[in-house]
Chain A
């Protein structure tokens, strides 16, 4: 059981391997219902998060709604 080196929101991160996107959100303490996930520039719908495996070098963006005009 090693670690995966990935990029999350532009920052390098290491997560315990193997990991899915759902695992990543849990690792980061995020509720999947409150974020939208983009994996290597592709949006991943919530029901598919648990089935999508992370690979070394992957890039993940986690976004949500903030105040704006």
Chain B
């Protein structure tokens, strides 16, 4: 049973709280791009995530048998975090966020305002405008951001409940490109920092958590794995391992070797 390998039990940690809402898992997962709904459901279960992201789209009127994601995932079992993916302006993102809230689950939104179609990097100006408007409107905003400290600080000032800097571009699987930026953002912000996008495999997740961030959101790394369920387990352990390593505090890096065995007591 894979469950028996779950090893986070003895590690003492404070719970992750975003906008006064506590969460059990520091791993959040998306629901897009899975080869089948069955794969998605099993992978999400294996991940141990309680936050799952969803997108807002038009109902397909010609194929109403093609059910929404809630046909497969129970909103009682997961905290649904709606995103504004695909939005290229503040107005559009605000419109999508309001539609998502009307679905009636919560007032959280993962705010994305995209500025470039090739890299899907955020439009910082639009992001800040939308964040301010949504905060005014009572939303708990989790803002998808680039890994820029000043942008992150401004999003916090705007009242965001969490800032979500990228590890690398959405869907790229390139891993954590700039650990220094992520560490700096974590050190300077008071709201939770959730790294979103770019994690490709377990070592990426572990390294990201070792920077001290509060959590990770991923989608493609699970959905496009050869075996999404096994990758979900790997990510769960990696997030826990990285978090534990951060809490433990790593040894200093040295440019010289230091023997682990006593230098004294050697034979003549």
Query: What is A's interface to B at a CB cutoff of 8 Å?
Result: 8-11, 28-30, 34-36, 38, 43, 45-46, 61-69
The answer to whether the Cβ of B257 comes within 8 Å of any Cβ in the partner chain is no
Given A28-B61, A29-B64, A34-B70, CB of A66 within 8 Å of CB of B99: no
Q: How far is the CA of A36 from the CA of B98 in the complex (A)?
A: 10
The answer to whether the Cβ of B208 comes within 8 Å of any Cβ in the partner chain is no
Q: How far is the CA of A46 from the CA of B69 in the complex (A)?
A: 20
Given A61-B58, A66-B54, A68-B30, CB of A43 within 8 Å of CB of B85: no
Q: How far is the CA of A8 from the CA of B70 in the complex (A)?
A: 22
Interface 0/1 of B22-60, CB less than 8 Å to A = 000000001111100000100000000000011111110
Given contacts A62-B58, A69-B32, 20 further A-B contacts (CB under 8 A): A9-B58, A29-B64, A34-B68, A34-B70, A62-B59, A63-B57, A64-B56, A64-B59, A64-B68, A64-B103, A65-B70, A66-B55, A66-B57, A67-B32, A68-B32, A68-B83, A68-B219, A69-B53, A69-B83, A69-B219
The answer to whether the Cβ of B153 comes within 8 Å of any Cβ in the partner chain is no
Residues in B with CB closer than 8 Å to A11 are 61
CB distance from B135 to the nearest CB of A (A): 19
B64 contacts A65, C-beta separation under 8 Å? no
Closest to B170 in A: A69
Q: How far is the CA of A28 from the CA of B33 in the complex (A)?
A: 27
CB distance from B211 to the nearest CB of A (A): 21
Q: Find B102's partner among A8, A43, A68 (CB 8 Å cutoff).
A: A43
Residues in B with CB closer than 8 Å to A36 are 56, 99-100, 102-103
CB distance from B20 to the nearest CB of A (A): 23
B83 contacts A10, C-beta separation under 8 Å? no
CB distance from B179 to the nearest CB of A (A): 22
A9 contacts B61, C-beta separation under 8 Å? yes
Can you list 21 A-B pairs, Cβ within 8 angstroms, ordered by A?
A11-B61, A30-B59, A34-B68, A36-B102, A43-B98, A43-B102, A62-B58, A64-B59, A64-B70, A65-B82, A65-B100, A66-B56, A66-B57, A67-B34, A67-B54, A68-B30, A68-B32, A69-B83, A69-B171, A69-B217, A69-B218
Closest to B54 in A: A65
Q: Find A68's partner among B61, B85, B98, B104 (CB 8 Å cutoff).
A: B85
Q: How far is the CA of A62 from the CA of B60 in the complex (A)?
A: 9
Closest to A44 in B: B102
Closest to B220 in A: A69
Closest to A66 in B: B57
CB distance from B142 to the nearest CB of A (A): 13
A68 contacts B55, C-beta separation under 8 Å? yes
The answer to whether the Cβ of B93 comes within 8 Å of any Cβ in the partner chain is no
Q: How far is the CA of A48 from the CA of B61 in the complex (A)?
A: 22
Given A28-B64, A43-B102, A64-B68, CB of A35 within 8 Å of CB of B32: no
